[in-house]
Amino acid sequence: MREITYEQAALEAIQEEFRRDPRTVYMATDLHAELQQEFGVDRIRVTPIAENSFVGAAIGLAGSGFRTVVNIRMATFGFVAMDQLMNHAAKITYMFGGQAKFPILYRMTVGAGISAAAEHSVTPYPMYMNSPGLKIILPATPHDAKGLFKTALRDNNPVVSFEHILLGEVKGEVPEEEYFVPFGQASVRREGADVTVVALAKMVHEALEAAEDLAREGISLEVIDPRTLVPLDVGTVLESVKKTGRLVVVDEACQTCGAAGEIVALVTSDEATFGRLKAAPARACGLDVPIPFSPPMEKYAVPDKARIVKAVKDVMRAVPVER
């Protein structure tokens, strides 16, 4: 099978859907020359650097029968448009009583790793999880970038795609034939028996590397990539934890009020799964600090393979609680 980059896979999905549906519109603050050359200036719009304006304009377009793609670029720029995203896009279908559809795909990059400092290294998707009405996707591979985008561009609801900034040039297998990755269906990236590791975005790759190292020590990890946070495939996680009895959740976002804590809560509040736990669940998350500019300090602030290995070994050493 051919291999292409994550960003190429995302672009392919957009191109295919724009060829299929002439009422699709793309907006971003910089010119995407390849898209504009094929689809023209009316459909591929270069906007002012005013995120609140074009994020809001996408809602109006969607409600008028268009399907919009809005590339906000870095997630920090999305903060300028929080009213439009959380107070309007998230709620407008409900406020219309479902009588109108608002198909929008908002794209944002997240994550550290390029020494972009505190403002440009944010990972804020837990904030958006707490805004009912938005679907949230978190592609970790080129295959899923294309498949999830294809699904998003057929969905009649606002979808927010958070894409780790270091994944853009990562290559992976992507079929040439059309395919879709459904929302709410996790991927078991590696089967194992000792510890369930639920990893988000770039952390999927770190977790798989940790699994390779730990396998040489006789510790078997089951690595789960949720792929979408809203909807979240809770069932796959619960079944895995029932099998392994141990859980580590890995996320680059800050630990406090994060997706990792929600996943842990869902596992421990399920009576059947809770009864199978051999150790308290653990989290390996970003520190609750602004991301430093200094490369060594930046590296220290986010999880990596070593921190995942430590978290796994800690839950393996834990003494089972008598019930």
Q: Which domains does the chain have, with CATH numbers?
A: 3-173 (3.40.50.970), 187-316 (3.40.50.920)
C-alpha to C-alpha distances, 14 to 44, 55, 267, 273, nearest whole angstrom: 11, 18, 36, 40
CB 33 within 8 A of CB 66: no
Peptide bond into 175 cis (omega under 30): no
Does the pTM surpass 0.85? The reply is: yes
Per-residue confidence (pLDDT) for residue 1, from 0 to 100 = 84
The answer to whether 203 and 250 have CB atoms below 8 angstroms apart is yes
Whole-number pLDDT of residue 321: 57
Quote the CA–CA distance of 309 and 82 in Å, as a whole number.
36
The per-residue pLDDT for 319 is 61
With tokens 């870095």, the residue in question is 74
Q: Are 66 and 57 in contact (CB under 8 A)?
A: no
Half-sphere exposure (Cβ direction) of 30: Cα atoms closer than 13 Å: 5
Smallest CA-to-CA distance from 16 within 74, 72, 64, 69 is with 69
Output the pLDDT for position 4. Answer: 97
- Tokens for 157? 């609801």
- Give the C-alpha distances (Å, rounded to integers) separating 271 from 28, 224, 267, 315: 46, 21, 8, 20
H/E run at residue 172 = strand 171-173
- What local confidence, expressed as pLDDT, does residue 224 receive? 98
- Smallest Cα–Cα separation from 182: which of 149, 157, 133? 149
* DSSP state for residue 183 in the 8-state scheme: T
Q: pLDDT tens track of the chain, all 323 residues?
A: 899 999 999 999 999 999 999 999 999 999 899 999 999 999 999 999 999 999 999 999 999 999 999 999 999 999 999 999 999 999 999 999 999 999 999 999 999 999 999 999 999 999 999 999 999 999 999 999 999 999 999 999 999 999 999 999 999 999 999 999 999 999 999 999 999 999 999 999 999 999 999 999 999 999 999 999 999 999 999 999 999 999 999 999 999 999 999 999 999 999 999 999 999 999 999 999 999 999 999 999 999 999 999 999 999 987 665 65
Burial of residue 6 (number of CB atoms within 10 Å: 0-12, 13-18, 19+): buried
Q: Which residue is catalytic, options 88, 120, 143, 205?
A: 120
Say what the pLDDT of residue 69 is: 97
Burial readout 52-68 (b: 16 or more C-beta within 10 A, e: otherwise): eebbbbbbebbbeebbb
Q: Is 120 a catalytic residue?
A: yes
What HEC string does 13-69 produce? HHHHHHHHCCCEEEEECCCCHHHHHHHCCCCEEECCCCHHHHHHHHHHHHHCCCEEE
